[in-house]
Chain A
Amino acid sequence: MIDIPALIRLLKAYDVEFIVIGGVAAAAHGTARATFDLDVVYRRTPENIERLASSLQTHSPSLRNAPPGLPFRFDSETIRRGLNFTLDTDFGPLDVLGEVTGGGKYEDLLPFTIPLAAFGVSCLCLNLERLIAVKRAAGRPKDFEAIAELEALLAEKKARH
């Protein structure tokens, strides 16, 4: 099961540069939808890749739903050679993404982030408008209901201001 505070604190403890997106970002903005993993977009600099690898080193990162026995080591070399990883960790499912459809890389998303203060740390979270745009661009049927809720949430927020 996912431990959201533990995962966010862990990444922050290693100074990983990341942006919270997906269902956890949606929940932070106010949706009432459950999510079972944490999605983050990480900055693909050599230094940040090292920090990301170090942060998870002792927390049993493995590829989610991979066949048993498949050799996998989540180190900086693996991260450099890959891009997006759907992981299981001691703190639950964690998707670390170098790029997202419709959103691009960390640097592309950075102008559309807001600070999220939670669990004793502060991290970056994708803003609501961009979150909707990214989900729309992904075009996945399973997201339609979530997009409807996000857009209704945006309308509620606008009505309050």
Chain B
Amino acid sequence: MSNKPETEEAFVAGNPELPVDPVIEAYKKDVDRALLRSNLKLTPEQRLMNLQNFLNAIEELRRAVKAARS
């Protein structure tokens, strides 16, 4: 993975050219871009509420599984 300080500085300073990292590039193939586009239509608060609702649902499922086992 490339993380040379000078590259990071250039990036942060406004040069958007990211050094290509073959490992990260490989992962990009599996990114659900339709989901990202859908998220971009929301406000940041709506995105965070979606995350919170998801976490709430996970917690509810965990409780249900625990209750079913006991």
Contacts and interface: CB of A to CB of B under 8 A. Distances in A.
A72 interface: no
Nearest to A118: B45
A4 B16 CA distance: 31
Contacts of B50: 27
Contacts of B47: 27-30
A116 B58 CA distance: 25
B31 A152 contact: yes
Contacts of B40: 30, 153, 156-157, 160
B23 interface: yes
Contacts of B33: 152, 156
Contacts of B56: 1
Interface in A1-54: 1-5, 24, 27-32, 34-36
Contact of A31 (B1, B12, B36): B36
A152 B36 contact: yes
Contacts of A1: 55-56, 58-59
Interface of B: 1-3, 5, 8, 11-12, 16, 18, 21, 23-28, 30-33, 35-37, 39-40, 42, 44-45, 47-48, 50-52, 54-56, 58-59
A102 B3 contact: yes
A149 interface: yes
A70 interface: no
Interface residues of A, number: 42
Q: Say what secondary structure dominates the interface of chain A.
A: helix
Contact of B18 (A35, A36, A112, A132): A132
Contacts of B3: 102, 136-137, 139
A139 B55 contact: no
Contacts of A35: 51
Nearest to B5: A137
Given A125-B44, A137-B3, A154-B16, 8 more contacts: A1-B56, A2-B55, A129-B16, A136-B3, A144-B1, A148-B24, A148-B27, A156-B37
Interface string A105-139: 00000001000111100000100011011001101
